[in-house]
Amino acid sequence: MAAIVRISSVCHRGVKLQFYRSSLLARHLVTQQKDQDRSYLLTARIHGSSSLRAGSVSKAASLHWTGERVVSVLLLAMGPAAYYFPGPAIDYSLAAALTLHGHWGLGQVLTDYVHGEPKIKMANAGLFLLSTVTFAGLCYFNYNDVGICKAVALLWSK
């Protein structure tokens, strides 16, 4: 069974739809079976929730997602840079990027698995404390010891 749906007629980026309400929207689909040449009219329902209409929240989430991807790509680029050009700038950049990447990742785990207002607040406070201690520890290690780049090189050399 083949179905043809034109999503672009329903959603365009940056365009507020005039007919988009909190009620269910009905769109028609045309399908064909292989054995028969008759077309059947089906109805697909799209639920329009109020959270999808919040423009500023959607924009903030989009920017956050983009920031996560930028940090991920920077971490990929910092690997070879740390190998070929070890130094304090790369060490502190790695400390910041690794801490931020871990903070955002654990934040998503908390969002998925922690429920209830007091539990969420305690988990977020613990996450901020963990991220702060992690960043401070990495900066302390970079300043008072050999640094992240040379420490990884020493681990690989033995």
Annotated binding site for heme b: 101
What are the binding residues? 101, 113
Q: Rounded to whole angstroms, how far apart are CA atoms 27 and 13?
A: 19
CA distance 9 to 110: 36
Annotated binding residues for a ubiquinone, written as ranges, equal 113
2 three-class SS: strand
Instruction: Using the CB atoms, write b or e for 39-48: b if 16+ within 10 Å.
Output: eeeeeeeeeb
